[in-house]
Structure 1
Amino acid sequence: MKTATWIALATAGIIPTVPVNAQTYGTFDMGMLTNTLSQSAVTNAETARASERLPLTRSLRFSAARSDATLPSSAQLSYRPSAAAQKQNFAQFIAQTRAVDPDSAGKLEHLLTSVDVMGEVQKQLGRYGMRTDNLADALAAYLASAWFATRASTDDPTPAQMQGLRNQVACAIGASPEFADATDAMKQQLAEANLIQAVIISGYAETAKAQPALRAQITNTVAEAARKAYGLDLRSMSLGDHGLVPD
């Protein structure tokens, strides 16, 4: 099945699909949303990373998912969502955006306050047996959205692609010491940042497909944001049944 965007909030009228300029794009750079996560909440050895303002996701090391790989336990990947924490996270995302681009902050605030965003995203993730309260699922949703957007594609990922990518991310999280002591609050903040970004990127993919004049700008910006956040060059990778692999 094809949809206008695989996390299909834009086509439901929840976020406006308007022409996007460079200033607006900078606002939703994934690095901006994740750089403010508390590194000390995971490990006190993260001082160097915090001083360099590198997002926690850069600690992940990806390798092609294997069918015989041992996945982390559900307790390592899942978290118990808190409505109070979500309210705080959303307010923080809006405030960070407002400091860079007040107009885009207004649009983001409308998105986050006019609808149950996580509930709507869960409807889409549920088609793949995935959940918003699972960190691996949330990060995989962002990476899938970004990969398709770098190709100006609005295709749905296949279930096999999403399962492979989810397992790839889960193994990377399980192998990263920085995530070993992650709290529910930290997992929720990182998951929500990734899922919100996935929704926005899905809308941008629609714009890139519909407006060729903006295509290069959009695909380049999404690719650069993913590189900063994850250290991955999505434009030189394929998305298959084993996740993201170099071309």
Structure 2
Amino acid sequence: MREHEAQARTPRRDARSAATGQARRGDVSGLHYTPDKARRSANLAAFVQKTRAVDSRGAADLQKLFAEGDFIERIGALVAPHGLRIDNVADAYTMWWITAWHAARGENDDPSPATLTAVRAQAAHAITATGEIARASDAQKQELAEALWVQSALIDVAMEQAKRDPSRLRAVGDAVRQGAKGMGLNLDTIDLTSKGFVPVGVGQNDAPATTPKPGSAAPYGALALAAGGIGVGGFLMLRQRRG
């Protein structure tokens, strides 16, 4: 009887394990979305409109920048060698998280492969753990991800152009810091290590789990001036030169 009971329990355990594995795979697949070009045009137009509310000149520069070609696809080509995909919300948050943290400290460093991998895992875990973004529609995921990609690019260019001007570096860092707080993340309370983000003063991989809600990514109006003035080609040259 004991042998029979053990045999009867095994399939149930296997079924539960399989279900758990499928749930985990489902969670991971929830980080992806299918991009839509018409939706992308609408997202970028909305980003310009939000920027116009705080910086009309920056909004005009952004509008010109986006009109030069598919800005998101060009970003995708730059991040692909690092294993990041533009159709993955966690990847978008990873790049924004790292870029914003460096900017808040007056830096514009590229992360090591180990750091990038660690933060990517943290971002994916945080998003799947909260569930709100993972359960969002493709349209909501695309809106959030593309706003984060654009913000990362604006920060990157602004920091590159301000690197020899300490006062401009501080201004950019302050703008990024305030933008992050508007999304619920205090960049001054975390450190970036080879194991990912940890709370300041903590030496273990204890990751902050704050992630933006769908549609919550705010524009950085002041940073639009930096990117808009150089155009897509100039942005690519700056980024590739750094790479």
Q: Which category describes the TM-score, using the shorter chain as reference length?
A: 0.5 to 0.7
Compared CA separation, residues 129 and 180, structure 1 to 2 (3 A): closer
* 1:184, distance to aligned residue in structure 2 (A): 0.6
2:97 matched to which residue of 1?
143
Matched, 1:185 2:139: yes
SS in 1 for 2:30: helix
Query: How many corresponding residue pairs?
Result: 177
Residue 181 of structure 1 aligns with an amino acid whose one-letter code is R
Structure 2 Cα separation of the partners of residues 185 and 223 of structure 1: 27
| Aligned counterpart for 1:245 among listed residues 198, 223, 230 | 198
Tell whether the 8 Å contact from 1:151 to 1:219 is kept in structure 2 after alignment.
yes
More helix by share: 2
Identity %: 36
| Aligned counterpart for 2:70 among listed residues 78, 98, 116 | 116
| Aligned counterpart for 1:236 among listed residues 172, 183, 189 | 189
Compared CA separation, residues 181 and 154, structure 1 to 2 (3 A): closer
| Aligned counterpart for 2:79 among listed residues 111, 125, 132 | 125
SS in 2 for 1:210: coil
SS in 1 for 2:116: helix
Matched, 1:106 2:60: yes
Residue 192 of structure 2 aligns with an amino acid whose one-letter code is L
| Aligned counterpart for 1:169 among listed residues 104, 109, 123 | 123
The structure with the larger Rg is: 2
| Aligned counterpart for 1:160 among listed residues 114, 130, 134 | 114
Structure 2 Cα separation of the partners of residues 184 and 90 of structure 1: 16
Structure 2 Cα separation of the partners of residues 220 and 97 of structure 1: 17
Structure 2 Cα separation of the partners of residues 99 and 227 of structure 1: 19
Structure 2 Cα separation of the partners of residues 214 and 173 of structure 1: 33
Tell whether the 8 Å contact from 1:237 to 1:246 is kept in structure 2 after alignment.
yes
Tell whether the 8 Å contact from 2:94 to 2:123 is kept in structure 1 after alignment.
yes
Tell whether the 8 Å contact from 1:148 to 1:205 is kept in structure 2 after alignment.
no
Structure 1 unpaired stretches of 5+: 1-69
Q: CA RMSD for the aligned pairs?
A: 1.8
Question: What does residue range 30-41 of structure 1 map to in structure 2 within 5 Å?
Answer: none
Tell whether the 8 Å contact from 1:128 to 1:163 is kept in structure 2 after alignment.
no
Deviations 1:140-162 (A, max 9, x none): 11111101111222221111111
Structure 2 Cα separation of the partners of residues 73 and 200 of structure 1: 30
Deviations 1:121-150 (A, max 9, x none): 112211221100000000111111101111
Structure 1 Cα separation of the partners of residues 124 and 26 of structure 2: 7
Structure 2 unpaired stretches of 5+: 1-23, 201-243
Compared CA separation, residues 163 and 72, structure 1 to 2 (3 A): farther
1:84 matched to which residue of 2?
38
Matched, 1:204 2:150: no
Tell whether the 8 Å contact from 2:162 to 2:169 is kept in structure 1 after alignment.
yes
User: Normalised by the size of structure 1, how large is the TM-score?
Assistant: 0.67
Tell whether the 8 Å contact from 1:208 to 1:219 is kept in structure 2 after alignment.
no
Residue 179 of structure 1 aligns with an amino acid whose one-letter code is I
User: Normalised by the size of structure 2, how large is the TM-score?
Assistant: 0.68
